[in-house]
Amino acid sequence: MKTYFKGFVVGMIFMAMINSFVLAGGLLETIDVLWNSVNIEILGEKIEMNNLLYNGTTYVPLREISKVFGKKVEWDKDLNAANITPVDMSIKVDVEEVSSDIIDQAKLELVGISEKLTDMQNHDEIEKILQDFKEMSKLDIEYIYFGAQDSGGMSIIPKTVLSEDYDPRQRPWYTNADNDYYIADVYTDISNGAQILSMSKPVYQKDKLVGVVGIDIKVGMK
């Protein structure tokens, strides 16, 4: 599953400071800062990153924060400017290249979790089942998730902030899992460069569709 976010603006920049000196407008000024005093979290996930706190503002390395969002920084010495540009993450791996053992194990685990989810309606219970299966899985699962047919509710582990208009019932991983397993094309996770295989399966209560469960599996690194 490729998650989508909106309204998230990164307003953090980094100034390289040595011995707490800042050069601005041709003047050298001594300032007091706090080094690595802030825990950096992005969408609920802790990020190990050097930072400094000055006058209530947290500064982080521009290159590092850009990398988190799949960007790179290029320095233009003529303009004395740092340019943030997209990283080419277009490399794709064919599903046929993924080990059949991984796919067979994923199918087996999807069957097991779909049976557990058949009678579950409570959001907390669903998240507990997803968490337990992720921890017990023999696969390297990045995300495990369930979209409910009636409500359009979305449960995902690890917990992730989705856009307010996110409706799993309109996503390919949901709509394509009509009667059997759906295996999507392998894609690259821009946050860590991992190659991800998404698979999903419909969940039925008798003959009624109650939702679709899916897993994102790490199958390699870019």
Give the CA count within 13 Å in the CB-facing half-sphere of 176.
13
pLDDT by residue (tens digit) across 53-110? 888 899 888 888 887 777 788 887 777 788 887 665 444 555 666 788 889 999 999 9
pLDDT by residue (tens digit) across 178-192? 778 999 988 887 677
**Contact call for residues 87 and 70 (beta carbons, < 8 A):** yes
pLDDT at site 49: 87
Question: In the numeric block, which tokens belong to residue 24?
Answer: 């601005």
Q: How far, CA to CA in Å, does 70 sit from each of 66, 101, 141, 165, 186?
A: 6, 30, 21, 23, 17
Question: How high is the mean pLDDT of the chain?
Answer: 80
User: pTM of the prediction?
Assistant: 0.59
